[in-house]
Every structure is written in structure tokens, then in C-alpha cells.
Amino acid sequence: MVEVRTAQQGYVALLHAGGDVTLDIVDDLGHAIDERSMKFALDHLRYTIPRRYFDDALSVSPGKSDVIGLR
């Protein structure tokens, strides 16, 4: 976990350095993933990453040689 203030300072520093960065703060989340944070992540995948990369990622089916299964 990162303190909110530290995350905000990092965000500003990256912007000033010309970085392409976003910062999402989910109140009272703690060290977990919930529906709110999952929505942020999926929205970034859908709208921040170029659409063709997202579509390509969704089109991969299990069993192809480039898929690594997680247990």
C-alpha cells in the first residue's frame, strides 16, 4: 500500500516528467480488491489501453501457445 499523499505526489511528478499516468483513489479500500477497484481496472483496460490491444487480449482462448495458466 502507498499513502494517498505519496501517490498524489508521484502522480504529479510523473505528469511533470511527461508521463502518461492516471491515479485512482478508492476510499476505505485497505489492502484488497473490491467491485469499485475492479471497475477502475476494467475501465482502464477498456478505455486507456488502445482498443485493439484490449480486443486482442479478449480474443485469446485457453489452449493457445501464448497463454500461461495460473493456479
Task: Render pLDDT for 32-67 as a digit per residue (tens, 0 to 9).
Answer: 889 999 998 898 888 876 666 767 777 776 655 665
Residue 14 resides in a domain: no
Residue 52: domain span: 24-61
- Which DSSP helix (H) or strand (E) runs through 22? none
Contacts of 62 (CB under 8 A, 6+ apart): 69
How many structural domains does the chain have? Answer: 1
Residue 18 within a domain: no
Sheet strands (E) in 15-65: none
- Please give the model's pTM, rounded to 2 decimal places: 0.56
Sorted by sequence, the CB contacts under 8 Å of residue 51 that are 6+ apart come out as none
Residue 71 lies in a domain: no
Please report where in the chains the cell 479500500 appears, as a residue: 29
State how far the Cα of 21 lies from the Cα of 59, in Å rounded to an integer: 26
As separate numbers, helices (DSSP H) first and strands (DSSP E) second, the chain gives 3, 0
Does 33 reside within a domain?
A: yes
